[in-house]
């Protein structure tokens, strides 16, 4: 049976059909523009918006209102100390960066795990956040440590898995096989490395 090749996005008629293919964000933005849909947001938000439109004809996704922060603490200009309590209005600002650099040294940098921890831990202190950063740094020094790759970064995960399976191959090989891989459908639009990919 011949392999099904990825159709032109303009030929897709249902949300399910749209979701079985890999689309770059710029392709989704261009198609949303063609359909007269809102184009802002993360890649998967735009994908959801187009799929919803294809299935229902409705131009907007039903959205729950974002909770309003109860704190009016100004993370941009307030004086920060180790005892400063994280609030539900926390923001990663230059003021916060300066505080962390003063406490942790010039090597401090925000990381995705630290930023997530800061957002999710209202009531903890900046001192607690410093301890979390130190723990994260120690974890990174462990042999065999690998960062988590978020689910929306399919290419990054594919690259890691491909190169782990084929250490003798390089990025040109990854890109060549990936370009063929994303031309194939998948049940959920996710493209993961499989040993048979070299045969594509």
Please list the rounded mean pLDDT of every run of 10 residues in the chain (200 residues): 79 95 94 96 92 94 82 96 97 97 97 94 98 96 89 91 96 96 88 92
Phi then psi dihedrals of residue 188, to 5 deg = -120, 10
- The 3-state DSSP class for residue 131 equals helix
pLDDT value of position 22: 92
Angle of the 94-104 helix axis to the 126-140 helix axis, nearest 10: 70
Give dist(CA 85, CA 121) in Å, integer.
10
pLDDT value of position 2: 53
**pTM score, whole prediction:** 0.68
pLDDT value of position 65: 79
Q: How many residues does the chain have?
A: 200
Q: Which residue in this structure is represented by tokens 């996710």?
A: 190
pLDDT value of position 3: 65
């Amino acid at each position: 049976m011949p392999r099904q090749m990825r159709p032109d996005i303009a030929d897709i008629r249902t949300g399910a059909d749209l979701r079985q293919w890999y689309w770059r964000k710029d392709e989704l933005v261009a198609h949303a523009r063609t359909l007269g849909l809102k184009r802002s947001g993360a890649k998967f938000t735009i994908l959801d918006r187009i799929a919803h439109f294809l299935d229902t004809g409705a131009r907007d996704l039903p959205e729950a209102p974002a909770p309003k922060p109860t704190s009016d603490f100004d993370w941009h200009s307030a004086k920060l100390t180790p005892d400063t309590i994280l609030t539900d209005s926390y923001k990663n600002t230059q003021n916060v960066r300066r505080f962390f650099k003063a406490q942790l040294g010039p090597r401090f940098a925000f990381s995705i795990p630290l930023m997530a921890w800061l957002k999710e831990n209202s009531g903890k202190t900046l001192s607690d956040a410093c301890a979390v950063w130190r723990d994260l740094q120690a974890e990174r020094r462990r042999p065999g440590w690998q960062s988590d790759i978020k689910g929306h970064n399919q290419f990054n995960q594919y690259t890691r898995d491909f190169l782990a399976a084929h250490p003798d191959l390089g990025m040109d090989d990854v890109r060549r096989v990936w370009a063929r891989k994303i031309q194939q459908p998948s049940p959920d639009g996710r493209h993961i490395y499989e040993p048979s990919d070299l045969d594509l």
